[in-house]
Chains A and B, each alone.
Chain A
Amino acid sequence: MADSQQTLPGLQDALALGLTESEYELVCEKQGGPPNVVELAMYSLLWSEHCAYKHSKKLLRTLPTQGSRLVMGPGENAGAVDIGDGLVCAFKVESHNHPSAVEPFQGAATGVGGILRDIFAIGARPIAVLDSLRFGEPLAVVGDAEASSGSSSQDDASAQARRARYLLDGAVAGIAHYGNSVGVPTIGGEVYFEGPYGQSCLVNAMALGIAPRERLMSSAAVGVGNTIVLFGASTGRDGIGGASVLASAELGQDDGGKRPTVQVGDPFEGKKLLECSLELVECGLLATLQDLGAAGLTSSAAEMAAKGGLGVDLDVARVPLREADMEPFEIMVSESQERMLCVVTPDKVEQVLEVCARWEVGGAAIGEVTGTGKVRVLDGERVIGEMPVAALVDDCPLYDLQPQRPQAQIYPAPAATLDALVSQGAGAGSGGAQPRGSGSPNPAEILLALLRSPNIASRRPLFEHYDPVVQSRTVRRPQTADAAVLAIHPLTARDSQETLRGIAVSIDCNGRRVAADPRQGTIAAVLECAANLACVGAEPLGLTDNLNFGNPEKPHIAWQLQESVAGLREACLALDVPVVGGNVSLYNESASSGPIYPTPVIGMVGELPDVARAGRLGFQRAGDAIALVGNFAPSPAASELAKLCGEQLPQELPAIDLDGAVATIVALREAVRQGGLASAHDLAEGGLAVALAECCLAGGLGAQLRVPAEFLDEEGGVAALFGEGPACFLVSGEQAALRRLGERIELTLLGEVGGEDLVIEAQPTALRLSLAELEQAHGALAELFA
């Protein structure tokens, strides 16, 4: 038993640190007596939900993690797939939700910094960042009746809008601050605005990297007697208790007081650390590499020891500090950013420290690998903590969920905003806007309202803050195609015959659909990513998931989680895509706005043989034919239009024909690869009409179409124009090419590209809108950054 200078902490201290009474008793049993301050601090972090996945681990084990191209699966800092030429692509998504809700700029910035470290910890150079964001409603649009009465719902809407804008602004600035400064392009992402994210925003960041296969690093400690070197920034008091206090509990009233638990990022330090780490790896100087993330030194050292089946001795007196008077437990749990831990054979320590010095990165030997199977914390000569590695890392109790399907939909109906969005358009005085008729809005008004709505409006005002081109690989930037496309090798001079292979990536999840039906909604999210990849001609190689849910101890949240993971499994098997790793973020709920919509964010990576043929989203040539590909069965259920109409979410969604969807996706991908299509875009939020408007705007060309009678119902074209469903695409190209595609898959010719207007006939209704009108509505989010 290690000696401690203070009286031992007790049960009350353990509870304050987030452990339960029975967990504390188990810790005492594993330690052979009550733990001291250092030990209790370390157990409380490693046994937190964030580190131990105690409510999700059993479910995660059901996911398919095998694939012919898989090189590194779940368990390492990031997963990796083979992309040929002896290279692998490493990728992972991770959440930084709770810190971002408390301090959005640093929360998002360190989220990006953290996921980048995960990538270079396995020896890969980060080549791209994507982000997935969720906030409350940013526009205080309320129905006319409420607005005129100045009701409390209007006040609530204004307060929510102010908070959403504050969080959005901070998160976008934080992502830009870090990603731009470290020279990694931000090539894609998504954002949704929904009431249930009002208090609990989501900030998920995904990164990709490339490495020669033989250079991949493991985080398992090796070699008894080897030296442990900590390098990067010095250690301060920031982020103490981040994993347990912030990430593993619901947010409450006094979260401002939690601000000191948020870490502060320094992208310049991160950039030096990145280059320094990669040089150390390239020079073959490291035996093991691991980043310091949640729970800092505690988790890095313990996981390193656990994976290697060894022990580690760490001397806190040798850790370079920002503040001289830090307590040993603070040093062990600090979440100061931009730090890495490595194992080095003693003969190479000097060389390692020389490389660090060249990059002006701090470095210090702080311990060694032992054969004890224990994590020992020393302060000089004195042992101040001693814990079995297995107890710390593997023995945290796992909990079974108590899932129960709720009797009724648990989320309140959204505010009806359609009329307000329609009159906004009329008030804007756009030249050719059609006069506002009485009664329900006509299809043209609905289309403009949808284009103006926060979930559909152009993301350009966000993307413009990010550098998408650094590193000279980017072939498809945001909003030029459904998925981002990168050449595997940076672009250089070449002869015209040479084809360049590429990778494509997409990140997506419509949480509202998952809330309506956790299983079908999750399947839809996976299919959406695969559809996006197909639009550029890419075949999926693997996916990473970030399961963002509410409090799993509540039966209805447990049910969402269970159903969602089941859907993820089904979709992965149907597409033959393994899960290469991911992250779980639970307790995303608050007393005032309840649980978030269940949001299993999917990031999918694929490959394509020739980036010159990567598909585009915009129409390219006047005169091209336009066709709909796939089984067109649009449903108003949980659609964007249903939301704008204030409809309550249904309790289930139409079952998805997975095999049919996969067949459509494969056929479309092949058609894009053959180069016969001028554009390809999948139908998503807002359905056919919104997809058409997006193709027109991205290409700067109008279109004339007629929706065939078989797609129309007795209420006219509203369901056909604005209903939603998976695996359906809008393509354009020469008629002959489209007919060839039609021989392999369901295809309906709709019309032709050309002119300055989008004209859609859906008997008995029709709409005609100029590109300028569409553009103006689509630009609605610009005011958020004005």
Chain B
Amino acid sequence: MRFGVLRFPGSCDEVDATLAAGRVGETELIWHRDRDLKGVDAVIVPGGFSYGDYLRAGAIARFSPAMESVISFAAEGGLVLGICNGFQVLCEARLLPGALLPNLNRRFTFRQMQLEVVNSRTSFTRACTASQPSLSIPAKHSWGRWYAPAKSVEQLAGNGQIVLRYKPGQSFNGSTAEVAGVSNAAGNVFGMMPHPEHAVDPLMGSSDGLAIFESMRLTVEARRG
């Protein structure tokens, strides 16, 4: 199992994502100008401030050569995980529903969040067991308020695309319906604002994020049969 982690100028958590994914598989950094995804089994679009994010978070990265390849990769059913800025990039690229707006508190905020796993049958959450109904994972962002019109939220929920929610009273960003992570209709692209790569070791205070990477490994291996 090999993960490809994109690296844009301004990415910050690409090494962290590589280290976390490296606990369950092999990893490869992919430079933003490379169209070649080097045959990886899954792609991670990491956190940070791609190209400075001075225009709108993710708005420029979405047009990078590497992202063009990721869009094709996703269209063919490849697994794509977007974390924080990566989630923003995937929304900008229309690979995921909704949009990410500035936090309601209008500040960059760091907080350890308790997340409810709404759907544990997805390619990204299948390793979340019933004995672990919530995940403790930190969030850190200034544009994390996921928004979609009420009607489509209903539809997404019906499809099982609302995968993670902030536990009540936790969220500082004002996301619609407390949404922390959503998938596309096909279930092979998933974005989340909290950072699972920063919760993969007891010394970090939580290893709950490991389940996301482990789920991706299980999915890829199941596909191989």
**A and B pair up:** yes
In angstroms, Cα B31 to Cα A360, docked, is 13
CB distance from B15 to the nearest CB of A (A): 7
Q: Is the CB of A465 within 8 A of B107?
A: yes
Decide: B52 and A470 in contact? CB cutoff 8 A.
no
Answer whether residue B4 sits at the interface, using C-beta atoms and an 8 A cutoff.
no
**Which residues of B are found within 8 Å of A611, using beta-carbon distances?**
203
15 A-B pairs in the complex with CB atoms less than 8 angstroms apart? A180-B12, A181-B52, A268-B52, A271-B9, A464-B107, A467-B12, A468-B110, A469-B195, A469-B204, A470-B13, A470-B198, A472-B204, A491-B200, A492-B22, A493-B23
Q: Which residues of A contact B (CB under 8 A)?
A: 173, 176-177, 180-183, 266-269, 271-272, 275, 359-360, 463-472, 474-475, 477, 487, 490-493, 500, 611-612, 785
A466 to B12, CA, bound (A): 14
- Contacts A181-B10, A268-B52, A477-B205 supplied; 11 other A-B pairs, CB < 8 Å: A177-B108, A180-B12, A180-B49, A183-B13, A266-B52, A465-B110, A466-B108, A469-B138, A469-B198, A475-B204, A492-B19
Q: How far is the CA of A679 from the CA of B103 in the complex (A)?
A: 36
Q: State whether B15 touches A472 (Cβ < 8 A).
A: yes
Kindly identify which residue among A182, A269, A359, A491 contacts B203, using a CB–CB cutoff of 8 Å. A491
Q: A359 contacts which chain B residues (CB < 8 A)?
A: 9
Contact yes or no, A612 B12, CB < 8 A: no
Residues of A within 8 A of B16 (CB): 470-472, 490
B140 within 8 A of A: yes
4 pairs of A and B residues whose beta carbons are closest in the complex: A268-B52, A183-B12, A493-B23, A491-B201
User: CB within 8 Å of A: which of B71-92?
Assistant: none
Q: Complex Cα distance A477/B111, Å?
A: 11
Report chain B residues within 8 Å CB of A490: 15-16, 19
Q: Which of A177, A267, A469, A785 gathers most chain B CB within 10 Å?
A: A469
State which of B54, B138, B140, B204 has its C-beta within 8 Å of the C-beta of A180. B140
**Distance of A500 Cα from B202 Cα, bound (Å):** 13
Quick check: is B51 within 8 A (CB to CB) of the other chain? Answer: yes
User: A646 vs B200: C-alpha distance in the bound complex, in angstroms?
Assistant: 49
B191 at interface, CB cutoff 8 A: no
Q: In chain B between 124 and 157, which residues have their CB closer than 8 angstroms to a CB of chain A?
A: 138, 140
CA distance A182 to B48 in the complex (A): 8
A360 touches B108 (CB 8 A): no
Interface of chain B, helix or strand or loop or mixed?
mixed
Q: Is B197 engaged at the interface, CB distance under 8 Å to the other chain?
A: yes
Is B109 part of the contact surface with A, judged by Cβ < 8 Å? yes
Q: Which residues of B contact A267 (CB under 8 A)?
A: 49, 52
Contact A472 B19 (CB under 8 A): yes
Q: Is the CB of A464 within 8 A of B109?
A: yes
B108 and A180 form a contact (CB under 8 A): yes
Task: Chain A residues near B23: list those with CB within 8 A.
Answer: 492-493
Report yes or no: A271 in contact with B22, Cβ–Cβ below 8 A: no
Which residue of chain B has the shortest Cβ distance to A266 in the bound complex?
A: B52
Contact with A along B177-214 (1 / 0, CB 8 A): 00000000000000000010110110111000000000
Q: Is the CB of A465 within 8 A of B204?
A: no
A271, closest chain B residue (CB): B10
| Most chain A beta carbons < 10 A, residue from B15, B20, B201 | B201
Residues of A within 8 A of B51 (CB): 268
Bound-complex Cα distance A472 to B201 (A): 10
Given that A181-B52, A490-B19, A493-B22 are known contacts, is A785 also in contact with B12, CB under 8 Å in the complex?
Answer: no
The answer to whether A466 and B110 touch across the interface, beta carbons within 8 angstroms, is yes
**B15-31 CB contacts (< 8 Å) to partner A:** 15-16, 19-20, 22-23
Q: Please, which residue of chain A has its CB at the minimum distance from the CB of B22? A: A492
Q: Which of B20, B51, B200, B203 is packed against the most chain A CB atoms within 10 Å? A: B203
- A466 CB contacts on chain B under 8 angstroms: 108, 110
CA distance A327 to B156 in the complex (A): 60
Contact of B9 among A360, A468, A500, A612 (CB under 8 A): A360
Cα-based distance from A595 to B54 in the complex (angstroms): 39
- Cβ–Cβ contact A465 & B12, under 8 A: no
Chain A residues within 8 Å of B49, by CB: 180-181, 267-268, 271
Nearest A residue to B172 by beta-carbon distance?
Answer: A464
Interface centre among A463, A464, A474, A611 (most CB of B within 10 A): A464
Give complex CA distance A666, B96 in Å: 55
Q: Which residue of B lies closest to A500 (CB)?
A: B203
Measured between beta carbons, the chain B residues less than 8 angstroms from A467 are: 12, 108, 110, 140
Please give me the residue from chain B that is nearest to A268 by CB atom.
B52
Contacts of A463 in B (CB 8 A): 110
A472 touches B108 (CB 8 A): no
- Closest partner residue, chain B, to A611 (CB atom): B203
Specify the chain A residue showing the minimal Cβ separation from B47: A470
Q: Do A268 and B9 touch (CB < 8 A)?
A: yes
Chain B positions 39-78 with a Cβ under 8 Å from a chain A Cβ: 48-49, 51-54
Shortest CB distance B196–A (Å) = 12
B217 CB → nearest A CB, Å: 13
